[in-house]
Structure 1
Amino acid sequence: MTSLPAATEKAPSPSLKIETRSIDYVPRHERHGKVWHQGPFWFTGNFVLTTMVTGFTGAALGLSLHYSILAIVLGVCLGTFCMAFHANQGPRMGLPQMIQSRAQFGLRGAIVPFTAVVFVYIGFNVFNVILATDAINTVVPGARAPWYSLMIILAVIIAVVGHDLLHAVQRWLTYIMISVFSVLTVSALMTLQADAAVADAHFSWSAFLIQLSAAAGYQISYSVYVSDYSRYLPHKTSSRQVIFWTYLGAAGSALWLMSLGAFLASALPSPDAIGSVREVGNQMIPGFGTFTVLIAVPALVGIMAVNCYGAMLTGISAIDGFLQIQPNLKSRVVGIALVAVVIFLIAMNIPDSYLASFNTFVLLMLYFLMPWTAVNLADFYVVRKGHYAISDIFNPAGIYGRWAMPGLVAYFLGLIAMIPFMSLSFYQGPVSRALEGADIAFVIGLAVAGVAYWALTRGLDLDAERLAIQASERQLEGVGQ
């Protein structure tokens, strides 16, 4: 399938330039960047109004503020744990996140998690462009289509330039977002009263676990592209440092914004991401709330670019399993453009009820991604311990094959095991009903898929794979293992 680069002596240029790689391996001589950059990248990547909306869930279900925040803390810590450990795969393997799944699911079998992942990318970007347009319409009312087009085009340009520009944009936005939202948070604490808008605020396991699941699912959604942005780091980058900085950035912004969202939802009778921010900010300094809403737009465009880039990588990975695609600039541009068109068409035609069903979207995302993250992490940390024949990931006749039954069986076992525990607006499993609506499905999916994969791969011939790894190293880097 995709051809891989041979090692050369040419060092990467330090200047910003258009990225030419897509799903192919990044040779070690091209690696660059600083590990601490993962922190601001994921801080701003998560510091968007969409994150705040996730914090509205508990209050909407009658959960008091301190229990909502407790559920958010537990959910964010668990979800970010999965995400941050995926980040370590980037420097070790030099590959985008989802194409690594071929080692567990097979070159074509990986289409199963790929489908769910593309759904996540598209769904989030539709929501993001709608929120960003709502923010702009608070100042410039009018038709939505031109703003959709403008923001999608900006996201496409950033995504086409690629990895280094994405990092630079996210890093500089971090300083701006911290400064502005610090003032907004102080204003909220000074002017609002917790639980003032929640009638009979109380604790219930159902509401607590739904808020916890929403927070965890939101964080786990980043797992599908986290090593896309760590794969250019030097091969010997400390695993602890990659995990630490990714965790710090992603968890820090999520805890802040989701908790702020929970506070606003508990204090305001009709909370919404745009109106609430504007109201609270303007109470402290006239016009500051409107300014904050507008400042949030670049962050939304930034994460839209990240999502377009990730959707392109996943889409190319999926197609390449069946029809060879050259991993060059042209395929990147075409892939990103197609993603952008789909986002625009859905945003223009989707009903307003989509915004009201954001929590259902996050839970569905959690259900479909949890078995994948369990299989992928179990393979990397327990079964193969981070050692892969990279060239075979692109080879239909390689050791990973076209369809890998252990990964596929473990994924579907995890998915099926969750069904009785699911709690959605249109379906509630029998166990969830017995627990009065409480949702612990993601815990079941994680455990079942992970354990099943470990059990199904106990007979794996790691000695034969070790020989393939050595051959792959010679092909890619011109050295032995």
Structure 2
Amino acid sequence: MDATRPPRAAPATARHAAVPAAGPVATGPGADTAPRPGGVAIETRSIDYVPARERHGKVWHQGPFWFTGNFVLTTMVTGFIGPALGLGWSVPAVVLGACFGTFFMAFHANQGPRMGLPQMIRSRARFGIRGAIVPFVAVVFVYVGFNVFNVVPATEGLQTVLPGGSTLWYAVLISIAIVLAVVGHDLLHLVQRWLTYALIAVFGVLSVGAMVNLDVATPAGGDGMSWTAFLVVFSGAAGYQISYAVHVSDYSRHLPADVPARKVIWWTYAGAAGSAAWLMSLGALLASALPDPDAIGAVRKVGNDIVPGFGTFAVLVSSLALISIMAVNAYGAMLTATSAIDAFRPVRPTVRVRVAGIVAIEAIVFVVAIVLPDDYLGSFNDFVLMMLYFLIPWTAVNLVDLYLVRRGHYAVTAIFDPRGIDGRWSWRGLTAYTVGFAAMIPFFKTSFFTGPVADALDGADLSFVVGLLVGGALYAWLCRDLDLTAERAAERASEAELEGADAPQGV
């Protein structure tokens, strides 16, 4: 199957005789029951394959899902970086960075309906079943970090109208996120879709009010153009968007396999890039016009200047969106962590395992949030850059493999079989990732380390360009002698196994 076309035959079941424990087997109650139209039930799928008869949903739902997924106060904080560096051209920098980073995210979304598997477990085809632990560790770090930086502003937002200390609200909000993540895919899509309408209405008014009422003729951060600052902001916005690539097809894998690739990519891109460019630009505008801005205070001030109390209402709506994306991150972290464990010790993907994984991840988030310093903006800036550094070589290898090397042809069963075509350790993917990351180090620019090339360029961070080019080009070169004939044979055997398992059994 070509990466841009649906597969010629959609596998119809998740039952694999060859890999009963580690393979794509659904063992929870009701695992073989398709979702009821219009209803929401606890999801039974985990790292296992979603069979054709359970595929459902509309491709346009990817748009509002990722619109709300990005329309959170954490995204706005990314827009504060430019004015803090004295960059007057902060809005073009974040818009271009967001649009660039979303390009890589959206093209990952196309894998979901083609393979019916979560995003990160498919890294096994590039890095090997155990070798994929390398990007898995980085991705879990991203999930935990994001949820820490989400629960803090969500708590601050609720504390504007409700009593209670931070620790109490951290526990309450994390618990709500756990419930949403446990119910899973369909509820998350439903919540994200309805929040999109509310966010567009509320922040549409807020954005117009900011442009009308704020004086940005002389930005507080400066009005000059610095290519160094521009690249820092561009990289931050791009890295923020690329980080979403690690779970983008977790929420497209339930779509029917015959949905057009261009629609999956377009709706994902439109939702994610649109909301990020909007909210990052608003953040840059607020930071340029207000002294010492913070996300909660800036939204309240601008909104209350429009209509008394409207700013507080906008903060509360923003807090709901933060809770929702915390659930999305917890869900993705569970899938990634389960995939990592399964590589060394077979895991039966039951509902109990899903719940335990989600709770464990969110317990870590709770502990880290408690010890996070009050002045976390500087930590957030470094966190965004570190995401970029770890994920750029992964996304380069992943996309080159998908669109240039294997062209969408994968053996689903082999992804769960240590003796399969992918093997335990894939030296090609691991070499390209490691070399790509190492090539980026001289270009790093953070608060705690500046690479020699970045220092020579007056602090300009071009590491993302180097990582993409080196990691992607090296992987393509290393795969020049890859035995695609064996790959195709494994794919045909996988399809036969998947399809045969769903054939009538003596009925």
TM-aligned CA deviation for residue 73 of structure 1: 1.7
How far the C-alpha of 1:355 sits from its partner, in A, is 3.5
Match of 1:264 in 2: 286
**1:255 counterpart = 2:282:** no
Following superposition, the deviation at residue 86 of structure 1 comes to 0.1
Cα drift, residue 4 of structure 1: 2.7
Q: Which residue is equivalent to 2:86?
A: 62
Cα RMSD of the aligned pairs, angstroms, is: 1.5
Percent identity of paired positions between Structure 1 and Structure 2: 63
Q: Distance in 2 between matches of 1:358 and 1:9?
A: 42
Query: Within 5 A, what are the aligned runs for 1:3-402?
Result: 3-5=23-25, 11-14=34-37, 15-64=39-88, 67-194=89-216, 196-198=218-220, 200-402=222-424
Per residue, is there more helix in 1 or in 2?
Answer: 1
Helix, strand or coil at the partner of 1:286: coil
State the distance in 2 between where 1:9 and 1:153 align. 28
The gaps in structure 1 that reach 5 residues or longer are none
Q: Please tell me whether the aligned partners of residues 228 and 310 of structure 1 are also in contact (alpha carbons under 8 angstroms).
A: yes
Deviates more, 1:170-179 or 1:142-151: 142-151
Counterpart code for 1:294: L
Quick check: 1:127–1:355 contact (8 Å CA) kept in 2? no
- Are 2:221 and 2:288, in contact at CA under 8 Å, matched by a contact in 1? no
Partner of 1:419: 441
**Post-superposition shift, 1:72?**
1.2
The DSSP-based 3-state class of the residue aligned with 2:376 is helix
Give the secondary-structure state (helix, strand or coil) at the position aligned to 1:99: helix
Give the aligned residue type for 1:455.
W
Residues 264-299 of structure 1: CA distance to partner in whole angstroms, max 9, x if unpaired?
Answer: 011111111000000111111011111111111110
Distance (Å, rounded) in 2 between the aligned partners of 1:90 and 1:204: 40
Q: Is the 8 A contact 2:84 2:221 kept in 1?
A: no
Write the distance in 2 (CA, Å) between the matches of 1:355 and 1:347.
Answer: 14
Q: What's the CA shift for 1:197?
A: 4.5
TM-score w.r.t. length of structure 2:
0.92
Displacement of 1:5: 4.2
> 1:174 Cα shift?
0.3
TM-score by length of 1: 0.97
Partner of 2:5: none
CA distance in 2, matches of 1:81, 1:376: 14
* Per-residue CA distance 1:365-408 (angstroms, 9 max, x = gap): 00000000000011010000001000000001111000000000
- Assess, with a 3 A threshold, how the Cα gap between structure 1 residues 4 and 200 changes in structure 2: closer, same or farther: closer
Matching residue's letter, 1:233: L
1:184–1:280: 8 Å Cα contact kept in structure 2? yes
2:460 to 438, 459, 475: 438
C-alpha distance in 1 between matches for 2:32 and 2:361: 35
Q: Where in structure 2 are there 5+ consecutive unaligned residues? A: 1-20, 503-507
| Aligned-partner Cα distance in 2 for 1:150–1:199 | 37
- CA–CA separation in structure 2 for the residues paired with 1:10 and 1:329: 14
Contact 1:414/1:444 (<8 A) preserved: yes
Paired residue type of 1:47: F
- The amino acid of 1:230's aligned partner reads S
User: 2:87·2:221 contact (CA, 8 Å) conserved in 1?
Assistant: no
In structure 2, give the amino acid aligned to 1:13.
R
Equivalent residues of 1:473, 1:479 under 8 A apart: no
8 Å contact 1:5–1:476 — kept in the other structure? no
- Number of paired residues? 477
Shift of 1:9: 9.3
1:141-184 CA-to-partner distances (Å, cap 9, x unmatched) read 44111111111011000000000000000000000000000111
The one-letter code sitting in structure 1 at the alignment partner of 2:451 is G
> Could you tell me how far apart the structure 1 residues matched to 2:143 and 2:35 are?
30
Counterpart amino acid of residue 419 in structure 1: I
Mark the CA change 1:160 to 1:408 in structure 2 (over 3 Å): closer, same or farther. same
Aligned to 2:490: 468
Counterparts of 2:320 and 2:95, CA distance in 1 = 26
- Which one of the candidate residues 403, 411, 415 is aligned to 2:425? 403
Per the alignment, in what secondary structure is the counterpart of residue 293 of structure 1? helix
| 3-state SS of paired residue (2:449) | coil
Q: Distance in 2 between matches of 1:409 and 1:336?
A: 32
Residues 417, 448 of structure 1: 8 Å contact kept: yes
Q: How much does 1:303 deviate?
A: 0.1
Residues in 2 aligned to 1:154 and 1:298: alpha-carbon distance in whole angstroms:
10
Residues 9/20 of structure 1: CA separation in 2 closer, same or farther (3 Å cut): closer
Conserved 8 A contact 2:43-2:183: yes
Instruction: Give the aligned residue type for 2:322.
Output: L
